[in-house]
A = this chain, B = another copy of it.
Amino acid sequence: MLADHVEEVRLVDHHVHGWFTEPGDRDAFEAALNEGSTGPVPPGRSGFDLPLGVALRHWCAPLLGLPRHASPDDYWEARAATPYDELVRTFVEAAGVDHWLVDTGLTPALVTDPEPRSEVLRLELLMEEVLGERDVVGAFRERLDATDAVAAKTIAAYRCGLDIDWSRPSARAVAGRARASGGRVEDPVLVAFGVHEAAARGLPLQVHTGLGDRDLDLRRADPLHLRPLLEAVDIPVLLLHCYPFHRHAGYLAQAYDHVYVDVGLAINHLGARSVELVAEAMELAPFDKQLYSSDAYGLPELHFLGAQQWRWAMGQVLGGWVRRGHWSEHDAIRVVDMVAGDNARRVYEL
């Protein structure tokens, strides 16, 4: 009953990106399997030689008519032989997602966004769009007032780290830093300004924490650095990804009524170990403060795989507790429903 339910429950993917508009070649495909690296796979190596690569051949191959664990060559061949719109439809439908919250700010020209969706507004990008204006503060506020995004997002972890002065900057300070920015938002004052403006409008705030690509210094992406911000705002703050600091994030979700966590991105990349990741994420965080996301980007396989691995992991973790008598099946199903989508629907008022 739990096993069936977790396989069938409809999801809200509360943090995701689009898939590539073009199927791309094999080099691009393999490079896209490695989140951390920023270049092509080096000669003599394979993008499949990652936990994600194995998981893809395990879970995705059958959707292309292949046996589980088809070889990388066979996988690529079947993928390349499938019309791209059919490939996309196959994986995206198999995800079982009812609603997508899309960060549209990452390479918008290269991707197609899923439907039905709500938009997540990338604050640093919005700021960069108005840096050239005479009244940067006013222009930023005007655009923020006009947005129909259901949430804002900060990638402070990439731009300046999370260990910054999170107090609310003055308009004057922002104007000065904007002039000195050279067109790119890396200044903590500009980042903090965007976050406080979004908070003042009651927008839920998504925060990139933990792993990402090598552009970030992982030491500075620990969500524990956010404490001064958490003390200063009272909008929902949604800690994204979090790995390997997901236990820190769970602690914050317990300590602060307005803090939420997910383990998106990591749930795709850890492959078979996503079971343990989900288990660790459930150590402290209240059940009504956990959300599902894939953070899929580029490859439509990832939109499906995140959902599939989350389903499998939740089934294993909760199912194990039910089998050993620690949880009732009723409780487990209720928590699945909360994390699958109910929490997201409530937080974002979908």
Interface residues of A (CB under 8 A from B): 34-37, 39, 42, 45-46, 49-51, 54-55, 58, 68-69, 211, 213-214, 217-219, 222, 224-225, 227, 243-244, 247-248, 251, 254-257, 269-273, 276-277, 279-280, 282-284, 286-288, 321, 324-328, 330-331
Distance in angstroms from A335 CB to nearest chain B CB is 8
- The chain B residue with its CB closest to the CB of A163 is B219
Q: Are A273 and B269 in contact (CB under 8 A)?
A: no
A327 touches B272 (CB 8 A): yes
User: Which 7 residue pairs spanning A and B have beta carbons closest together?
Assistant: A36-B255, A69-B328, A36-B254, A244-B247, A214-B255, A272-B326, A49-B287
Chain B residues with CB under 8 Å of A218's CB are 224, 227, 248, 251
Are B254 and A50 within 8 A (Cβ)? yes
Q: Which of B255, B283, B288 contacts A273 (CB 8 A)?
A: B283
Cβ–Cβ contact A219 & B222, under 8 A: yes
- Chain B residues contacting A331 (CB-CB under 8 Å) are 54, 69
Complex interface: chain B residues within 8 A of A34 (CB): 254, 286
A345 to chain B, nearest CB (A): 14
Complex Cα distance A39/B327, Å? Answer: 27
Whole-angstrom distance between the alpha carbons of A324 and B313 in the complex?
Answer: 13
Per the bound structure, the CA–CA distance linking A280 and B276 in Å amounts to: 9
Are A251 and B36 touching (Cβ within 8 A)? yes
> How many Å lie between the Cα of A326 and that of B68 in the bound state?
9
A20–chain B nearest beta-carbon distance, Å: 21
Which B residue's beta carbon lies closest to that of A36? B255
Task: For the complex formed, measure the closest distance between the CB of A185 and the CB atoms of chain B, giving whole angstroms.
Answer: 22
Q: Contacts A273-B282, A284-B51; is A256 near B37 (CB within 8 Å)?
A: yes
Docked-complex contact A286 and B50, CB < 8 angstroms: yes
